[in-house]
Chains A and B, each alone.
Chain A
């Protein structure tokens, strides 16, 4: 177990090193940030000065070396545009994305898995057909379109829910959260719903496929032959067995949504990191892009690590020795 963790951490370091290089090179190739930093009418002297100040005149490998050095010391640089430390900028925006993402992914999981299990348990029933219809819609209709429809229906036409923003927030652990106030919850509902539809569809599919497969196994037959009730069989056998693939997808979805909730955040003017990264790409705010991508890589590695640990906890066959 310890060797497993050590091995995973070592792998993570290698991946991070590779990612940082790729990110650095990739962002470097996007364009020259100097045009953003300077007014068009800046003199040649100011220009040279600025380039030197940001180290942009140094050879590429040196710039990369300095970048890694600073990152290792927890310094991801300052935003060109906002002129403040990038980490502050990102962590200011992160809670908004975090609560939106968690609401969407958890909601999709908590609702999707029971629906999927039902659809897999009674595949011929009318309810199962409705559930599958929902999942087809969730899969095939684009997120931005659903977002617009949600706004038009619930915000514009019915006027039940706000169309954008975070609403009122309340403080917990020194961070502002929307889900702690009634008004904030109202603001959270539509974007979370929008973001969760695809995940809901995915969870339904996976749970259904897993359930169908497991219901046909001898494990279930044997459990039935010992007189166990259908509820027991679903709770103790089916749920345990399908949880292994579900945890993987949960982790992947959590990671990718945290990183790329851009579309929903834009439509609902949700002030999260998704909007930040889009803005920084438009303004060629290089440190923000780099820091963001590095943090996202770190996030993925961390989530994968947790998923692996869950695997080991859920599947005893993985616990060697």
Chain B
């Protein structure tokens, strides 16, 4: 097998705050092949967004990437110059965000915003801006793009706004799109539509996706592989089918158990008891131990090492049995 499109190894991103050094991303490793969809799932604050921003070098003070490696298409991005990072952002790796009402500039027309994103990469441009802009807008399902391109963001619905953001992301035919909970702020029906469309677009264009969500059900419906994050670390990673059918980490099991579709309507949802510890106050050893029914003294004293391959494995001393 050739080198993956993106391989992240031992990535560490810290925030130096008043509450001490927060290890928002700690020793995170994963890889992504062309056209693949990787789901990154975890509770709020587990470090999903910081992971995404780190890939683009978009970590600002007081944060910094403190270690590890991000290899993208043969190029090392950790410590790369701002010019190299800028030439990759939006052109080869694009990113879309949770709330389209916040990401688009309210005082610029869609055309103006698309033009700014288009002009950010002079070199790769062949052909006409307007033609390309209209092409991607219709690709994401904006009706009558020629008329709508001169409208302002507030003249679009939430779902349409997110489609515009996706269109901007698609403009330079990126190899990867990082989608940071792009449907969380939208209605449920629109969520499903956009999800289906994104999967279609990724297939059609060969773009790989890193899909970030706190909702395992969404991810399972979309991704080829899933990485589960907890308190800054990846605790389990595997193909969607295997991870859903036979999770190895008790936390993954807990997330699966809280999925409403697994239980008859009347049944009480089993929740994972307790809450994720704050990064400023992590317990020794496994961060999940205080909430884990299998935790032992070992779990409470040393961080469990990764077992398995880069693509497939878990970090737990007491993994669940693989049920055949």
Q: Which residues of A contact B (CB under 8 A)?
A: 124, 217-219, 221-229, 232, 236-237, 240-241, 244, 314-317
Contacts and interface: CB of A to CB of B under 8 A. Distances in A.
A241 B97 contact: no
Q: Helix, strand, loop or mixed for chain A's interface?
A: helix
Contact of B105 (A124, A225, A237): A237
Contacts of A217: 102
Interface in B85-109: 86-91, 94-99, 102-109
B95 A225 contact: yes
Contacts of A314: 107
Contacts of A221: 53, 58, 97, 103
Contact of A226 (B61, B98, B120): B120
B116 A232 contact: yes
A219 B97 CA distance: 10
Interface string B300-313: 00000000000000
Given A219-B102, A241-B107, A316-B154, 8 more contacts: A218-B98, A219-B104, A222-B96, A226-B89, A226-B90, A226-B116, A236-B116, A314-B107
B289 interface: no
A222 B52 CA distance: 12
Given A218-B97, A221-B97, A222-B165, A227 B90 contact: yes
B168 interface: yes
Contacts of A236: 108, 112, 116
B5 interface: no
Nearest to A315: B107
25 contacts: A217-B102, A219-B102, A221-B53, A222-B104, A224-B58, A225-B56, A225-B94, A226-B94, A226-B116, A226-B120, A227-B86, A227-B120, A228-B90, A228-B117, A228-B120, A232-B119, A236-B108, A236-B116, A237-B108, A240-B107, A241-B105, A314-B107, A316-B154, A317-B107, A317-B152
A200 B90 CA distance: 38
Nearest to B118: A226
What bracket does the count of chain B residues touching chain A fall in? 35 or more
B121 interface: yes
A229 B97 contact: no
Contacts of A237: 105, 108
A222 B120 CA distance: 13
A237 B103 CA distance: 11
B58 A229 contact: no
Contacts of B102: 217-219
Interface in B159-204: 165, 168-169
Nearest to A316: B152
B102 to A, nearest CB: 4
Given A221-B58, A228-B116, A316 B90 contact: no
Contacts of A225: 56, 58, 89-90, 94-95
A227 B122 CA distance: 11
Nearest to A243: B107
A227 B105 CA distance: 15
Nearest to B91: A227
Nearest to B52: A225
A217 B98 CA distance: 12
Given A218-B102, A219-B103, A226 B97 contact: no
A246 to B, nearest CB: 13
A222 B95 CA distance: 7
A222 B154 CA distance: 17
B65 to A, nearest CB: 16
Contacts of A124: 61
Nearest to B107: A240
A305 to B, nearest CB: 21
Contacts of A224: 56, 58, 89
A95 B86 CA distance: 51
A225 B56 CA distance: 7
Nearest to A317: B154
A232 B105 contact: no
Nearest to B155: A316
B132 to A, nearest CB: 14
Contacts of B99: 218
